[in-house]
Copies of this chain bind each other. A is one copy, B any other.
Amino acid sequence: MARPLEFWFEFASTYSYLAAMRVQDACAARGVPLVWRPFLLGPVFAAQGLTDSPFNLFPAKGAYMWRDLERECARLGLPLRRPSRFPRGSLLAARIACAHADAPWIGAFVRATYAANFAEDRDIDTDDVIASLLGNIGQDPAPILALAATPAAKSALRAQTETARARGIFGAPSFIVGNELFWGHDRMSQAIDWAAGA
């Protein structure tokens, strides 16, 4: 009997892009229930004493990451246009994904948002872009944007981010099955195997 896979992701995270575009199909193929867990890396990095993305703080690692991302996207057949701003503000998208993690359109919203950031270089931290993405997936943007601006939506994302840190998450994407943590797109299939009981 397959256990649920928790997919912990940050909309600004490059390797989360690879995982986000693939995780729903990959779980479905194995009969693994998928739980969407958006969070913010900023507070998780801050708790480790990091004031920015490690890819910005450590330029050699950052330069490598962009080249590796190109290779990985080519290998996986995913489009890539390097965002003109990195990391891109992800607060609005994360609040929406957190408030609607169980909605039937969550997967489509997550993929559309990642594609906007990493394949189209659009600023996903604006109401206009998010409204257009929601419209494209058949959702009425107005109530969704209104909900995202409420204190409840804001505190739900803060709480989820704190849960990430408390559960040992230090980067994104991460995957949790029970108490087992897997970090990075490179561990996605291993995490799905774990959930499937293989």
Contact = CB atoms under 8 A, between A and B. Distances in A.
Interface of A: 48-49, 58, 60-61, 63-64, 67-68, 71, 75, 165, 168-171, 181-184, 186-187, 190
Nearest to A59: B48
Nearest to A168: B60
Contacts of A49: 58
A190 B74 CA distance: 13
Contact of A170 (B61, B165, B168, B170): B61
A64 B183 contact: yes
A168 B60 CA distance: 6
A62 to B, nearest CB: 9
A153 to B, nearest CB: 27
Contact of A183 (B68, B170, B171): B68
Q: In the complex this chain forms, how many copies of it are found?
A: 2
A158 to B, nearest CB: 19
Contacts of A171: 61
24 contacts: A48-B58, A48-B60, A48-B61, A49-B58, A58-B170, A60-B165, A60-B168, A60-B169, A60-B170, A61-B170, A61-B171, A63-B168, A64-B168, A64-B170, A64-B181, A64-B183, A67-B181, A68-B182, A68-B183, A68-B187, A71-B190, A75-B190, A184-B186, A186-B186
A183 B58 CA distance: 14
A9 to B, nearest CB: 17
Q: Top 8 nearest A-B pairs by Cβ distance?
A: A60-B170, A186-B186, A61-B170, A48-B58, A60-B168, A64-B183, A64-B181, A64-B168
A140 to B, nearest CB: 40
Nearest to A44: B60
A187 B61 CA distance: 15
A181 B187 CA distance: 20
A171 B186 CA distance: 17
